A and B are shown apart, each in its own frame.
Chain A
Amino acid sequence: MATREDGAVIDAPQAQILTSRSPRELAWRRFKKNKVGIAALVTSLFFVSAAVFAPLIAWAINIDPNERDSSAITARGQTIGRFGGISWDHPLGVEPGIGYDILARLIYGARISFLVAAIATLSTVFVGLMIGVVAGYFRSRTDSVLGRLTDFLLAFPSFFMIIALSAPMIARIEKSGLARDNSARVLYLILVLALFGWPYFSRIMRSQALSLRERDFVSASRALGASHTRIIFKELLPNLWTPVIVYLSLALPGYLAAEAIYSYLGIGVQPPAATWGLLIADSIKYVMSEPTYFLIPSVSLILVVLSFNLLGDAVRDALDPKSELT
């Protein structure tokens, strides 16, 4: 065993076994130790793949979200059989009154719900990241202007505005020819969710950038003659992936729930298409007589939101054991 002048032990065979680990590998090792995190990851993956492979699943077990099975309901619309008509043909039962297969509606509905949540999350994070970092890095006037814009949006009564503006704005989108019907509604929802969502994230990013820009490695980069673009992309952004990933996993369930709420309130997607919010809204009518119909989408929503949140917590703990970021 050899000892170098600065006290570092260099033992050749051992040095090769102790291969270098990147911060990412270290984070993954920490993550694997977190049982709750693994469970949350498995649950999240289960729901996401159910949504992604919905057509495949529907084809495999022979269900269709738009097919009414009149043999599964009585003439008065009640489901036949126990637990809301759960049978081999309809693994999660059928919708009372219409006879749609609930499993098919659930997985197809999840596609729209997840799509809205995913796009809204990504745009929120992208816009918030860019504006926050630019404001925090350049400070002075840039920060003042962007800061006032953020303040304005944060103080805006967004919930009220989203509902009030929905009808005229959706009509506008349809008129402009961008999208029609449900597509226009989905587009509107994504736009407003992202518009009112990014300021929260840009605040976090701004404060991170403010502290990072004072670090000596940024000075070192400037002393080498690096441009602002290089400093932002090469020095600041690599240090921001942790809060970005954490915020992604925490914002996604929030938007999932938001999509359900707006669908429930009639702003999101309209029937005959299905989303989780619509399923819950519809099932409220039968909550006493057909509790399974209400429980299935509600419990799914709670499970997904909970597992994404727990996944986000676990990712945060793994990436940065010392961070206090929420």
Chain B
Amino acid sequence: MATPILEVTNLAKFFPIQSQGIFSRVKGDNKAVNGISFTLNAGETLGLVGESGCGKSTAGRTILKLYEPTSGTIKFEGEDITSYSASKMKPLRTKMQMIFQDPYSSLNPRHTIGSIIAASYEIQKITPENGVKRAVQDLMERVGLNPEHYNRYPHEFSGGQRQRIGIARALALKPKFIVCDEPVSALDVSIQAQVINLLDDLRDDFGLSYLFIAHDLSVVQHISQRVAVMYLGKIMELAPTEELYKNPHHPYTKALLSAIPIPDPILERKREQIILSGDIPNPVNPPTGCVFNTRCWKAQEKCRTTEPVIMQIGASQVACHFPD
């Protein structure tokens, strides 16, 4: 098999919590991402799901080196970029891009759409064949925007249109890999489908690979080939999409899947929902052993003392002592 486009091994990102004052010292670490490993093949979409605060966005940003990784390695096209400096990363940035969650905060309100998209060329000092304006307008057309709106400001667009602008910006440098950080969770349900379909089309047209971060399992199901379930900075289960939805092995995956409503009232009434008790623990002091043990109905003594190793069950990788 060819080299995967992205290979992440034991990646961790801790945010130090400092006391105030001149002689500030580190009081602890927020272990946002705590040792995750996965690979992403060219042309593939890997879904990354989990509750709010489980570290999925941090993982996406750390992979793009927007955050400095604490430990672990990131290999992009076989090249170890973990300790690359900003200047060494710059040429690679044309190959890896990001689409953001909030279409309002991701576009600078003081710049026109044209200059927002053209900034990609400006920063990387690339001159497209037919000139910048033409390239930008082609991109706008491709993502379903009216190219005549080139000189308009972000406030004149709706959430869905703004997200398209963000997509056009990410596409401008013709990247191979895009981190989609909850690209549709801020949009109306009707617009969500359009943006998902657009991302789907673009993946085929441009030969993109996505790391698709979401908290909505049904969105991920549609677009991903494989799905990784994250909880408190760790991957609980990673499996091909179909396998994960049909045959979940990890109790946390089961709980998440049982929360998806069924659009059929009769079936919906029969749906058995697993309600997890308690809150997601503080990532500064994660539980010992399996991080999920405080909320797991299967938890036993072993879960509180020993951290489960990832094991292969069929096509799935599961981090649990008592998988189904």
Residues of A that sit less than 8 Å from B by CB: 4-8, 10, 15, 20-23, 144, 148, 215-217, 219-227, 230, 234-235, 238-239, 241
Provided the pairs A23-B109, A225-B124, A238-B111 are in contact, do residues A220 and B102 lie with their beta carbons within 8 angstroms?
no
Residues of B that sit less than 8 Å from A by CB: 22, 61, 64, 66, 86, 89-91, 93-94, 96-98, 100-102, 105-112, 119-120, 123-124, 144, 146, 148-149, 151-153, 155-156, 158, 160-161, 164, 166, 169, 173, 191, 194
Of all chain A residues, the one with the shortest Cβ separation from B149 is: A20
What is the bound-complex CA distance between A227 and B124, given in angstroms? Answer: 11
Contact yes or no, A224 B107, CB < 8 A:
no
Contact yes or no, A225 B93, CB < 8 A:
yes
Contact yes or no, B102 A223, CB < 8 A:
no
Residue numbers in B under 8 Å from A148 (CB-CB): 22
Residue numbers in B under 8 Å from A22 (CB-CB): 112, 153
Cβ distance A97 to chain B, nearest Cβ, rounded Å: 56
| Complex partner residue of B110 from A5, A10, A23, A216, CB under 8 angstroms | A23
Provided the pairs A223-B97, A235-B108, A238-B108 are in contact, do residues A20 and B156 lie with their beta carbons within 8 angstroms?
yes
Cβ distance B4 to chain A, nearest Cβ, rounded Å: 21
Residue numbers in A under 8 Å from B102 (CB-CB): 216
Contact yes or no, A219 B144, CB < 8 A:
no
Cβ distance A229 to chain B, nearest Cβ, rounded Å: 11
What is the bound-complex CA distance between A306 and B156, given in angstroms? Answer: 36
What is the bound-complex CA distance between A286 and B105, given in angstroms? Answer: 61
Of all chain B residues, the one with the shortest Cβ separation from A22 is: B153
What is the bound-complex CA distance between A216 and B100, given in angstroms? Answer: 7
| Complex partner residue of A224 from B124, B151, B160, CB under 8 angstroms | B124
Of all chain A residues, the one with the shortest Cβ separation from B92 is: A225
Contact yes or no, A226 B123, CB < 8 A:
yes
Residue numbers in A under 8 Å from B94 (CB-CB): 225
What is the bound-complex CA distance between A169 and B101, given in angstroms? Answer: 56
Contact yes or no, A4 B144, CB < 8 A:
yes
Residue numbers in A under 8 Å from B158 (CB-CB): 6-8
8 extra interchain contacts, Cβ-Cβ under 8 A, other than A6-B161, A23-B110?
A6-B158, A20-B149, A217-B108, A221-B123, A224-B173, A225-B90, A226-B119, A230-B123
Of all chain A residues, the one with the shortest Cβ separation from B124 is: A225
Of all chain B residues, the one with the shortest Cβ separation from A236 is: B108
Contact yes or no, A219 B120, CB < 8 A:
no
Residue numbers in A under 8 Å from B100 (CB-CB): 216, 219-220
What is the bound-complex CA distance between A157 and B146, given in angstroms? Answer: 59
Contact yes or no, B194 A5, CB < 8 A:
yes
17 CB contacts below 8 A, A to B, read A4-B146, A6-B160, A6-B161, A6-B191, A7-B160, A8-B161, A21-B156, A216-B100, A220-B98, A220-B106, A221-B119, A223-B98, A225-B91, A234-B119, A235-B108, A238-B108, A238-B111
Cβ distance B52 to chain A, nearest Cβ, rounded Å: 17
Residue numbers in B under 8 Å from A23 (CB-CB): 109-110, 153, 155
Contact yes or no, B146 A224, CB < 8 A:
no
What is the bound-complex CA distance between A241 and B108, given in angstroms? Answer: 14
Residue numbers in B under 8 Å from A20 (CB-CB): 149, 151-153, 156
What is the bound-complex CA distance between A238 and B115, given in angstroms? Answer: 13
Residue numbers in A under 8 Å from B144 (CB-CB): 4-6
Residue numbers in A under 8 Å from B123 (CB-CB): 221, 224-226, 230
